[in-house]
């Protein structure tokens, strides 16, 4: 256990890409923590108490103090626990890592969600186009093995959703958005990332995730 780390709890669900970001950061820092599994269909009093605003996971609780929103939590972990830096040290590089991480949630994930979970043809096609456009920016931004350089950093953690979840969405829907021929560098990065030992042990198993999203897509089409 890291010295003086205090009591660390993580409220989450195993399949969530946002929760997974926090798991990766905790593992990279070597922090021991208790995982408290939430049922999002019947949220616990603990979750409602610690995240009354959004009522979402992940919530990190450090010495009884809650922190919400995955990217904010990863930054908190970086500042609260020494060693194995996740963010670059140089202010401009730090700003860029934060900029692109926000871009992943605001643009990439928003577009992918539109492409995957919309029934309306026109909207879905728009989602596909916006996804391709957003991924191209990341393809151009990738200059080394990882976004963080030789080691995994903040943006790699934020982008795990692209490396692991997007291919699952594609398998479920048959959409072709993130492919090795369209995005060779980003695809290579995704393979390096998901095979990195710390990432590998942090990712939720693939089969149940596939089944879960298959169910969601089927429920969506049935509601048409
Ligand atoms: N922006 C949030 C997103 C978190 C999020 O969407 N969590 C989902 C699970 S993947 C959730 O708790 N949903 C419950 C709900 O919306 O009621 C973050 O980065 O932490
Ligand atoms: C929700 O969870 C609470 C506490 O864990 C339990 O007592 C209650 O029966 C659950 N409600 C439903 C509808 O499952
Ligand atoms: C990624 O590209 C590098 C350099 O071309 C190569 O050595 C490596 O094997 C590739 N990784 C994967 C997982 O394809």
pLDDT tens digits, one per residue of 163-222: 999 999 999 999 999 999 999 999 999 999 999 999 999 999 999 999 999 999 999 989
Assess whether 69 and 97 both reside in one domain.
no
Assess whether 97 and 190 both reside in one domain.
yes
Give the closest ligand to the alpha carbon of residue 195.
Answer: 3
Assess whether 104 and 61 both reside in one domain.
no
Has residue 3 been placed in a domain?
no
Assess whether 74 and 142 both reside in one domain.
no
Question: pLDDT grade, residue 68 (50/70/90)?
Answer: very high
**Ligand 1 binding pocket includes 56 (Cβ within 6 Å):** yes
The CATH number for 99's domain is 1.20.1050.10
- How many structural domains are present in the chain? 2
Question: pLDDT grade, residue 4 (50/70/90)?
Answer: confident
Assess whether 27 and 122 both reside in one domain.
no
Could you tell me the two tokens for 170? 């594609």
**Predicted local distance difference test score (pLDDT) of residue 179:** 97
**Ligand 1 binding pocket includes 75 (Cβ within 6 Å):** no
- Gyration radius from the chain CA atoms: 18
1 pLDDT more than 90: no
Has residue 30 been placed in a domain?
yes
- Ligand 1 atom having least distance to the Cα of 71: 19
Assess whether 196 and 111 both reside in one domain.
yes
Distance CA 24, CA 125 (A): 33
Assess whether 164 and 204 both reside in one domain.
yes
Maximum alpha-carbon separation in the chain: 54
Distance CA 155, CA 206 (A): 22
3 pLDDT more than 70: no
Distance CA 14, CA 202 (A): 9
Question: pLDDT grade, residue 223 (50/70/90)?
Answer: confident
The answer for residues whose C-beta is within 8 angstroms of residue 153's C-beta and 6 or more apart is: 86, 87, 88, 97, 146, 147
Assess whether 100 and 158 both reside in one domain.
yes
Q: Which domain holds residue 64?
A: 8-80
Query: Ligand 1 mean position to 64 CA, how many Å?
Result: 21
Domain boundary among 38, 57, 80: 80
Q: What's the half-sphere exposure (Cβ side, CA atoms, 13 Å) at 114?
A: 20
pTM of the model: 0.96
Distance CA 126, CA 64 (A): 44
- Reported as a single tens digit per residue, the pLDDT across 77-94 is 999 999 999 999 999 999
Has residue 151 been placed in a domain?
yes
2 pLDDT more than 80: no
């Amino acid at each position: 256990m890291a010295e003086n780390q205090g009591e660390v709890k993580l409220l989450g669900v195993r399949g969530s890409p946002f929760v997974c970001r926090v798991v990766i950061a905790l593992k990279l820092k070597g922090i021991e923590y208790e995982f408290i599994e939430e049922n999002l269909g019947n949220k616990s009093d603990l979750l409602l108490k610690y995240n009354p605003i959004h009522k979402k996971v992940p919530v990190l609780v450090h010495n009884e103090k809650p922190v919400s929103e995955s990217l904010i939590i990863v930054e908190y972990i970086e500042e609260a626990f020494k060693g194995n830096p996740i963010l670059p040290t140089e202010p401009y590089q730090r700003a860029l890592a934060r900029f692109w991480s926000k871009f992943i949630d605001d643009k990439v994930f928003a577009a992918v969600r539109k492409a995957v979970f919309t029934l309306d043809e026109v909207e879905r096609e728009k989602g596909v186009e916006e996804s391709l456009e957003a991924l191209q920016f990341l393809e151009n931004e990738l200059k080394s093995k990882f976004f963080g350089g030789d080691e995994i950093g903040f943006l790699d953690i934020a982008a795990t959703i692209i490396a692991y979840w997007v291919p699952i969405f594609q398998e479920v829907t048959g959409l072709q958005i993130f492919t090795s021929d369209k995005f060779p560098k980003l695809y290579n990065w995704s393979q390096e990332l998901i095979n990195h030992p710390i990432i590998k042990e942090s990712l939720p198993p693939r089969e149940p995730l596939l089944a879960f999203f298959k169910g969601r897509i089927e429920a969506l089409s049935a509601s048409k």
